[in-house]
Amino acid sequence: MKKYRNKIKVSYDADADVLALEQAGAAKIDHAQELGTMVVHFTKSGAPVLVEILEAAKTFGKGTKPLQKFAEAAFA
């Protein structure tokens, strides 16, 4: 898992094909909402702390290189 300057942890689970973007040191997750191929997890106060992109390879291309490039560009 890589850490970027704005304290976002980015991970990719190839078996599940899920790209996860998580706020480092985030508060406890209270609930989640599914939005198409994304699941957004929120604190009790409604702040988003974790975003999971399902079927990530369909969105970003097969293999981990496109996902890594996306993460680096978005969170560098």
Amino acid at 38: M
What is the C-alpha separation between 50 and 3, in angstroms, rounded?
14
Amino acid at 54: L
| Residue 74, pLDDT score | 56
Counted domains in the chain: 1
Range of the domain at 36: 2-75
| Residue 26, pLDDT score | 65
- Under 8 Å between Cβ of 60 and 19: yes
- Cα–Cα distance list, 37 to 6, 13, 16, 20, 72 (Å): 24, 15, 13, 12, 21
What is the C-alpha separation between 60 and 70, in angstroms, rounded?
8
**Per residue in 1-40, pLDDT tens?**
444 455 788 888 889 999 898 887 768 999 999 999 999 9
